């Protein structure tokens, strides 16, 4: 019972630091996967400066975005218009929170974003995204020219209390279909069913549109050269790859000092560049358009 109290919503904890959770770390130099006790560090950056940070006991980034944004608003600063992050943060719940609750623009890809842009995916006849749709009778047409008709609405709630609404469609008859083995894994005698989440599809279309626009697309492309150097400086230059203290509060203090050192190094480098430009008679204007990168 005592162990279950310590677990909370986690599935493991370290006996030497009960706030730490066992997570799959990156491979070591021998390419061995490492399962070690650790924390999930989240950093908000802009212009290669760390602006805010927090640590979490869960290894997945998807579940950290909303509480991290809450902490930024409560303890750091007002959120800017654009919030940028990679595909690890793309989910229906996160999009809904940023768009509806915070009224900001999420420039966050989702897991299949790159895959859906490829020619192979767009020309795959067995993907429902590529099927013809008839709005008047709410049906899709599969590769065998069979109607895939709407059946019912299903609401599914995950372990964290978020509810998704799915429209369930089913093919008229998959018996003796020549494409059956390529189209569905349903058992013989069962027809193919398709689940469509209209809210999720609308959110994905919104993200694709924003990333295709020149201005917002440029902001998203800036993410790689903005976020990665922060962790690069932290790990490679400062050799900070593990905590030397135990307990969440102490770990928060230690990483705070480390990120402060990263910012001071960056600040010094910029001042050195400004001083060099003054000697050469160049302009010293350095403009960082404010948008938030989460990593």
pLDDT, tens digit, 9 for 90 and up, residues 190-224:
888 999 999 999 999 999 999 999 999 899 988 88
pLDDT (0 to 100) of residue 173: 86
288, two tokens: 């960082």
pLDDT (0 to 100) of residue 276: 67
Instruction: Name the pLDDT band for 281 (thresholds 50, 70, 90).
Output: low
Asked if residue 76 lies in contact with residue 60, where contact means CB atoms within 8 angstroms, the answer is no
- Decide if 27 is inside a domain: yes
pLDDT (0 to 100) of residue 279: 61
Q: Is the pLDDT of residue 241 over 50?
A: yes
Q: Is the pLDDT of residue 32 over 80?
A: no
Mean pLDDT of 86-95: 92
Give me the domain span that covers residue 9.
1-38
- Decide if 221 is inside a domain: no
- Decide if 190 is inside a domain: yes
Torsions phi, psi for 50 (to 5 deg):
-80, 120
Q: Is the pLDDT of residue 132 over 70?
A: yes
Mean pLDDT of 70-82: 92
pLDDT (0 to 100) of residue 271: 82
Q: Is the pLDDT of residue 49 over 50?
A: yes
Q: Which of 204, 232, 267 is the last residue of a domain?
A: 204
Instruction: Name the pLDDT band for 293 (thresholds 50, 70, 90).
Output: low
R_g (Cα) of the chain, nearest Å = 24
pLDDT (0 to 100) of residue 292: 61
Mean pLDDT of 20-37: 81
Asked if residue 129 lies in contact with residue 119, where contact means CB atoms within 8 angstroms, the answer is no
List the beta bridge partners of residue 36: 23
- Decide if 72 is inside a domain: no
What integer best gives the mean pLDDT of the chain?
87
Closest by CA position to 46, among listed 257, 216, 219: 219
Whose structure tokens read 């990665």? 228
Q: Is the pLDDT of residue 45 over 60?
A: yes
pLDDT (0 to 100) of residue 101: 92
Q: Computed from CA positions of residues 123, 127, 129, 134, in that sequence, does the dihedral angle turn out positive or negative?
A: positive
| Between residues 265 and 275, the one the model is more confident about | 265
What DSSP line would sit under 225-276, residue for residue? HHHHHHHHIIIIIS---S-SS-SHHHHHHHHHHHHHHHHHHHHHHHHHHHHH
CA distance 68 to 267: 25
- Decide if 218 is inside a domain: no
- Decide if 229 is inside a domain: no
pLDDT per position as a tens digit, 217-233 = 899 988 888 888 888 88
- Decide if 55 is inside a domain: no
Which letter does DSSP use for residue 32 in this model?
-
Q: Which of 204, 239, 263 is the last residue of a domain?
A: 204
144, two tokens: 């065998």
Instruction: Name the pLDDT band for 274 (thresholds 50, 70, 90).
Output: low
Instruction: Name the pLDDT band for 66 (thresholds 50, 70, 90).
Output: very high
What percent of the chain shows pLDDT beyond 70? 92
Helix (H) or strand (E) holding 163: strand 163-171
Q: Which residues have a Cβ under 8 Å from the Cβ of 178 and sit 6 or more positions away?
A: 144
Closest by CA position to 51, among listed 192, 231, 260, 266: 260
Q: Is the pLDDT of residue 286 over 50?
A: no
Q: Which of 204, 225, 257 is the last residue of a domain?
A: 204
- Decide if 228 is inside a domain: no
Instruction: Name the pLDDT band for 277 (thresholds 50, 70, 90).
Output: low
Count of structural domains, the chain: 2
The pTM of the full predicted model, rounded to 2 decimals, is: 0.84
């Amino acid at each position: 019972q005592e162990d279950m109290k310590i677990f909370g919503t986690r599935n493991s904890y370290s006996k030497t630091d009960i706030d730490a959770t066992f997570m799959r770390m990156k491979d070591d130099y021998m390419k061995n996967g490492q399962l070690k006790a650790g924390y999930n560090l989240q950093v908000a950056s802009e212009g290669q400066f760390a602006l805010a940070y927090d640590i979490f006991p869960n290894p997945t980034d998807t579940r950290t975005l909303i509480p991290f944004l809450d902490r930024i608003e409560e303890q750091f600063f007002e959120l800017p218009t654009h919030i940028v992050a990679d595909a690890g943060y793309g989910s229906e719940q996160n999009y809904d929170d940023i768009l509806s609750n915070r009224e900001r623009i999420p420039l966050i890809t989702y897991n299949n974003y790159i895959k859906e842009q490829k020619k192979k995916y767009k020309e795959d006849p067995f993907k429902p995204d590529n099927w013809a749709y008839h709005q008047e009778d709410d049906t899709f047409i599969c590769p065998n020219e069979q109607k895939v008709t709407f059946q019912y609405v299903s609401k599914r709630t995950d372990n964290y209390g978020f509810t998704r609404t799915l429209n369930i469609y089913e093919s008229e008859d998959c018996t003796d279909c020549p494409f059956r083995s390529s189209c569905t894994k349903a058992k013989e005698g069962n027809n193919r069913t398709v689940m469509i989440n209209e809210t999720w599809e609308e959110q994905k279309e919104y993200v694709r549109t924003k990333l295709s626009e020149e201005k917002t697309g440029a902001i998203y492309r800036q993410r790689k050269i903005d976020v990665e150097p922060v962790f690069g400086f932290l790990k490679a230059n400062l050799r900070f790859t593990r905590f030397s203290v135990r307990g969440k509060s102490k770990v928060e203090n230690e990483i705070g000092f480390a990120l402060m050192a990263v910012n001071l190094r960056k600040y010094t480098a910029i001042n050195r560049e400004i001083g060099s430009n003054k000697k050469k008679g160049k302009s010293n204007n350095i403009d960082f358009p404010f948008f938030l990168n989460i990593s």
